[in-house]
Amino acid sequence: MIDIQIIKEGIGDTPRLHEEVFFFFIAHNHKGELLTNSQHTATKTIIGRGWLQPEVEEALSKMKQGERSLIKIYHSPATKEFYDQYEIEIIRIGRKKNNPWHLEGEEVYDKALELKGLGNADIKQQKYLEAQNKYLESLNLIKTEYCDRELELSGQLRSNLSLTHLKNKQFELCIKQATTVLQAQPENVKLLHRRAVASIQIDDFDRAKSDLKLANQLDPQNEEVIKELQSIGEKEKQIKKKQQDRAKKMLFGE
């Protein structure tokens, strides 16, 4: 036996049989004690597969996209004294349509993996622009997913994209992609080094030095990091001298 109280109205239709549903939830018992929750990753289910507690699936099948509801699941039909309470919000019903491959379900993830593999092959041949396009296409396929494996693949794609942007001299884009991944992986030495190299190219020496020092602390034997740390001071001096010379020319002329 369940009771459903809508906190926020949703839109559209309720999910159909065999349709995917992505949702966040938090569950307490009747004493208010936390039982479980989805934390920061949306839970995915397919209506009719029996992956969830029957009462939870029943509630989901009656909800709409964007809806947030309180669901009380009573332990016994004879009394309402003991129950578990779920607060559930549906993020999305069904897989995003109109992807360039017209794929659904597992096909989307498989295609994203295939594109990543093709991009990796391009990297080995130093075809950085071609690789970049494949990584972007792969990322576009999964960018609305909330499950762990898609989030992991997204991080890998963004890391690879930061490399292609660096090789293609798109330094701001390299920094953007590296920063996104570093938010979840702050001790990723490879990306700290890569962001530092890109930062040097746009004369952001403060961020470059900060990234290189952290990378050196995390991996003191990393030769690329050591080399960049040793040379950054000289590069900074050269840039400052050029800026001073340019200022003198503007002030005094040739």
Spatial distance between the Cα atoms of 89 and 59, rounded to a whole number of angstroms: 11
- What is the DSSP code (8-state) at residue 125? T
> What is the Cα–Cα distance from 127 to 125, expressed in whole angstroms?
5
Q: What is the pLDDT of residue 150?
A: 84
Domain ranges of the chain: 2-93, 96-168, 186-254
Domains 96-168 and 186-254 share a fold: no
**Quick one: pLDDT at residue 233?**
78
Identify whether the C-beta of residue 3 lies closer than 8 Å to the C-beta of residue 30: no
3-state class (DSSP) for residue 72: strand
Supply the pLDDT for residue 39. Answer: 66
At 60-115, the pLDDT tens digits run 999 998 899 999 999 887 777 888 999 999 988 875 555 555 566 677 888 899 99
Per-residue pLDDT tens over the stretch 145-158: 556 788 899 999 99
- For domain 96-168, which CATH number applies: 1.10.3470, 1.20.58, 1.20.1050, 1.10.20? 1.20.58
The predicted pLDDT at position 219 comes to 96
Q: How far is CA 40 from CA 26, 37, 69, 201, in A?
A: 11, 9, 18, 35
Query: What's the chain's length in residues?
Result: 254
Contact 1, 81 (CB under 8 A): no
Query: Which parts of the chain sit beneath pLDDT 50?
Result: none
- DSSP-assigned beta bridge partners for residue 86: 27, 71
State which H helix or E strand residue 56 sits in: helix 54-61
Q: What is the pLDDT of residue 56?
A: 93
pLDDT at 51: 87
Domain spanning 2-93, CATH architecture: Roll (3.10)
Model-wide pTM > 0.85: no
Q: What would the CATH number be for the domain defined by 186-254? A: 1.25.40
Average per-residue pLDDT for the chain: 87
- Reference 12, options 102, 91, 108; nearest CA is 91
Tell me, what's the pLDDT at 246? 66
